[in-house]
Amino acid sequence: MSSITDYIDFSQPSLQISALAIAFNPIFWNIVARQEYKNHFLTRIFGSPYYGCYFLAVVIFSIGILRDHLYLKALEDQPFYEPVHQPYIAYGLFATGNVLVISSMWALGVTGTYLGDYFGILMDAPVTGFPFNVTGSPMYWGSTLSFLGTALYYGKVAGLLLTLEVFVLYWFALQWEDPFTAEIYAKRERERAKASKRS
């Protein structure tokens, strides 16, 4: 009788490292962004909220590339399982995921994508067109679909487990981020309302 250990080799350090990298990224950018909002430490270091945001964007993008590399390395070290090997489904998921991620970056721009609102760089109005008319968090769910597509392409059960980790972490991140971001914009509207009354 087979067990989960027949399909996932938990002894592989690459699996553990990948799981840590997946967990680290959203925790890191949420902590850094909150500290920037409270203390403006990146703005002070770089002399501008825009330069601080650009710096954070480079860091987040770079650790995302590293995370993806570590994920692929983990899959290389894991057993192949034929029923999970679904390349045509993988192509569709990977393409859909990348469309969601790239189109959301295009719609938001650098500062909108990389937490510019925590730097005080606020958008004039919420983006409601594609892909935000499909999902409110296209970058997160597009990334999750890409992880899932990669797992199916390589036929690795471990990839499904790591994709589940991605999904859970992003879901928790949204419970943390969305109300905070909404409050940033609500605060701006309250300040605008006060200013208009004074004038």
- More confident: 16 or 126: 16
Asked whether residue 96 carries a pLDDT value surpassing 90, the answer given is yes
Q: Name the residue type at position 156.
A: K
Q: What percent of the chain has pLDDT over 90?
A: 81
The number of folded domains in the chain is: 1
The pLDDT tens digits of the residues spanning 12-29 come to 999 999 999 999 999 999
Annotated binding site for S-adenosyl-L-methionine: 95-97, 177-178
Structural domain boundaries, residue 70: 4-198
Annotated binding site: 95-97, 177-178
